[in-house]
Amino acid sequence: MPHPISALGAFHTIASLVPLGAGLYGFIRYRKIDSGTQSGKVYLAGLAVSVFTSFALSSNGGFNAGHALGILALLAISGALSVSRISVLGRARPYLSQFGFTFSFFLLLVPGINETLTRLPVAHPLADGPESDIVRGTLAAWLGIFVLGSALQFWRIRSQRRSARPV
């Protein structure tokens, strides 16, 4: 039987749906998460709330992998936002920036996938824990989607740059 969800856990879950929705909207509408758009700003704020509320949650009473992933997501966003000001990176800047945003979105869902599969349906969850085959398989599929999505974003950035060159 899964651990019951606390009030803070419920708030964290609802708050985590905000960057999920904003990120999906950005990917569908703009093919990326863009901090210059309204959805990008909502994504950034929602991600921060999601990560910071996760620090108060722990099923084992201490620092866990979910906390580490949250810190890594914040670092990815920090890098994505600051890479445009690092001139030594040259033409790699748009690629690195978009990779940071996409990587943070990937990281946002890793603990979410585990928690969802180990808690739902409430009466008989699909997985017993993070080591379950269904959790591992779903995470492997999510990793594949991330790699493919990142490759498509890189290809799109490269295509836009080539079409913008003077002839």
Q: Rounded to an integer, what distance in angstroms lies between the CA atom of residue 94 and that of residue 99?
A: 8
DSSP code of residue 2: P
Please report, as a single letter, which amino acid is at residue 4. Answer: P
Instruction: Going from the first residue of the chain to its last (167 residues), give the mean pLDDT of each consecutive group of 10, the final group possibly shorter.
Output: 76 95 97 97 98 83 87 98 96 97 97 92 91 97 98 95 74
Query: What pLDDT is stored for residue 167 in this prediction?
Result: 58
User: How remote is the C-alpha of 79 from its chain's centroid?
Assistant: 14
